[in-house]
Amino acid sequence: LIRWAIDVGIGENQLNNLTLAVLGLLGLVVIKGVLTYFQGVGTEKASQHVAYDLRNALQKKVTELSFSFHDQSEAGDLLSRAVSDVERIRFLTGRAVFRVLESLVLVIVTSGVMIWMNPVLGLLSLLTLPFLITISVRFGRSFRPLSRKIQEQLSVLTTRVEQNLRGARVVKTFAQEEAEIQRYKADNDQWYDMSMSSVKLRSTAMPLLNLIANLSSVAVLLYGGILVINQSLTLGELIAFTTYIAQLVGPVRTMGRILPVITMSAASAERVFEILDTVPAVHEEPDAAEFTIERGEVEFHDVSFGYGKHQGVLKNIDFAAKPRQVIALLGPTGSGKSSVVNLVPRFYDPTEGVVTIDGVDIRGVRLN
């Protein structure tokens, strides 16, 4: 339409054709505006559904996971994954994905049209694409592990705040305010340094992408200008070509902005799916039976138990608690009294041996 407006409408003094070309351009702008509205609403609705499902899945999973998982997890870290990481995934599954697809389609179609219009100019404008792809891939490889570390450090900060809020009375009782302030500052300094490293990485890669992308515009303008002077190309064709190049550079710039977000979102997705893929240490067997306690006789048969790497909390425990019988567990702190009690409702499973109620192995019945 631009070529038609310049070569025919302006070049041949045909006002009707110029008017038609301008109306055509206005019509395309209106259509683009309407489609952009539906695109924005549609992608946002889809991404919000993804975030909604992920939050529900995380809450369900965290609720179902065993005590052994919560023993090793920090509340602040789980909070960071459920809020910050899910929000980044939401952006990735909405606008980011659509922008990537849109950019790919624009690059492919625009490249095809340019080569069809003028093969030499078209190929000249595409010479920089391999360099752009190489820089983008290298940037992603460097930025992704750094993004993961930044998110993990943010979890450390969140955990530190959560612990200080929950333990404010203890901190004040033992006059540890200054110590806690310094601990938080040290963690915050580390997060700041990592964030600045990511900024430097982006600040190096993005201008380089723009520079390389604009080199093709300069080359086409120079060579195309020579063709126009030699009357091998019309002015309208050259302007149309430079407009196509602007359409080609746009997706490259978009990819430059989106790539860091995609990389950070991928790191966030790894952190979220670490939780979702965790298999509970205490799980229900597929053929688990319903169970009703009748007498209430509890027996430990050669039971041993330890928390994670700490083995030997309980070792070869044997006893039976008859109905209406009182059993006393005596021993110092850490000797395993609470551990014995925690094994009965199956908060944990013994590493060896069997716990039974009314002669039934509790691992074979429904968890509820």
Q: Residues 157-166: pLDDT tens digits?
A: 888 888 888 8
The phi and psi torsions of 336 (rounded to 5 degrees) equal: 115, 10
- Of the candidates 352, 353, 307, 354, the one whose C-alpha atom is nearest the C-alpha of residue 334 is 307
Count of CA atoms in the C-beta half-sphere (13 A) of 159: 15
Q: Are 106 and 251 contacting, i.e. CB atoms less than 8 angstroms apart? A: yes
Stretch among 116-120, 171-175, 194-198, 209-213 having the lowest mean pLDDT: 209-213
pLDDT of residue 355: 94
- Give 31's contacts (C-beta < 8 A, 6+ positions apart): none
Percent of the chain with pLDDT over 70: 98
pLDDT of residue 293: 87
CB neighbour burial string for 216-254, b if at least 16 within 10 angstroms, e if fewer:
bbebbeebbeebbeeeebbebbbbbbbebbeebbbbbeb
Question: Across the beta sheet with 298-307, what order do the strands follow?
Answer: 310-321, 298-307, 352-357, 360-361
Model confidence, pTM? 0.65
**Greater confidence, 345 or 166?**
345
Is 80 exceeded by the pLDDT of residue 102?
Answer: yes
Is 90 exceeded by the pLDDT of residue 299?
Answer: yes
pLDDT of residue 253: 67
**SS3 of residue 326 by DSSP:** coil
pLDDT of residue 40: 85
- Dump pLDDT digits (tens) for 247-297: 777 677 677 667 777 777 888 888 889 889 988 888 888 888 888 888 889
Query: Whole-angstrom distance between the N-terminal and C-terminal Cα of the chain?
Result: 70
pLDDT of residue 309: 65
Is 70 exceeded by the pLDDT of residue 96?
Answer: yes
The phi and psi torsions of 360 (rounded to 5 degrees) equal: -105, 125
**Greater confidence, 59 or 152?**
59
pLDDT of residue 94: 77
Is 90 exceeded by the pLDDT of residue 88?
Answer: no
CA 128 to chain CA centroid, Å, is 30
Stretch among 24-38, 65-79, 158-172, 241-255 having the lowest mean pLDDT: 241-255
CB neighbour burial string for 310-328, b if at least 16 within 10 angstroms, e if fewer:
eeebbeebeeeeeeeeeee
Percent of the chain with pLDDT over 90: 16
- Give 160's contacts (C-beta < 8 A, 6+ positions apart): 76, 183, 184, 187
- How open is the CA angle 44-253-154, to the nearest 5 degrees? 60
In 13-85, alpha helices (H): 15-64, 67-72, 75-80
Look up tokens 């943010």; give the residue.
Answer: 154
pLDDT of residue 237: 81
- Dump pLDDT digits (tens) for 304-334: 988 876 667 888 999 999 998 888 989 888 8
- Of the candidates 273, 252, 39, 263, the one whose C-alpha atom is nearest the C-alpha of residue 149 is 263
User: Can you tell me the distance from the alpha carbon of 343 to that of 353, in angstroms, rounded to the nearest whole number?
Assistant: 11
**SS3 of residue 311 by DSSP:** strand
pLDDT of residue 310: 61
State the CB neighbour count (10 A cutoff) for residue 21. Answer: 21
Q: What share of the chain is helix, strand, coil (3-state, %, to 5)?
A: 70, 10, 20
Is 90 exceeded by the pLDDT of residue 44?
Answer: no
Mean pLDDT of the chain: 85
Mode of pairing for the β-strands spanning 352-357 and 298-307: antiparallel
Mean pLDDT, residues 110-115: 85
User: Can you tell me the distance from the alpha carbon of 267 to that of 198, in angstroms, rounded to the nearest whole number?
Assistant: 14
